[in-house]
Amino acid sequence: MRLPSTAHTSRPWRIHEIAYDFRVEDVWALPTPGGPDDFAHLVKQVSTGEGDYVDSPVGRALFALRWKLGALFGWDKPGTGVGEREPGLRDRLPADLREGPRGPDFRKFRSVYQTHDEWAAEMSNGTCRGVLHLGWVPDGAGGYHARMAILVKPNGLFGIAYMAGIKAFRYVGVYPALLRMIGREWEASAHERNAAREGSAAREGSAG
């Protein structure tokens, strides 16, 4: 489910003090019901998942077109990546986040930081810089689920036009398939999370 920007901006996320010059492009509630300590499982799923997160022919075609255009116009050429055009977000981290867990890199994203309930990863190319932010929030019924926010900083007027031009394609061919895939993988890994909870409870019981 798509959420208003305030669903992200109203939360006390650490990303606000770091990506202050990025704008909120999209916010989504993810189909990932879980417990208070399950967030690390989601980070692992997103960063290590094999295959294509976009499972629809339309989505795959859009991504293929994007990479072809990127190669043609040099949007992804060397010198446009994270930390190459301008300093990456890790250079802005306060000491506690810089010294804490960094989190996993994946695909074209470089991890910025990871906490118990928050993970941010950054990408950059010739069109824009972007941040994928995942946060773990209570659902009001004793459980938790994830919210995904996409933060962007377009590179000049072309970047602004590019982001506006692909907006409809993201909503039609990318996000619906992405959320379906995340939900399926989350459901399939339920046994792994349950086993981790049982192991943690057993260790706490033996320690007590």
Q: To which H or E segment does residue 90 belong?
A: none
Sequence-separated (6 or more) residues with CB below 8 Å from residue 126: 70, 73, 74, 75, 76, 77, 80, 155
The confidence score (pLDDT) of residue 44 equals 93
Q: What angle do CA 49, 173, 112 make, to 5 degrees?
A: 45
Using one digit for the tens of pLDDT, what is the confidence trace for 128-185? Answer: 888 999 999 999 899 999 999 999 988 878 778 877 877 877 787 778 888 888 999 9
Give the E-state strand segments of 66-117 in sequence order.
110-114
Reported as a single tens digit per residue, the pLDDT across 71-119 is: 544 556 665 556 567 788 999 999 999 999 999 998 888 999 999 999 9
What pTM, to 2 d.p., does this model score?
A: 0.82
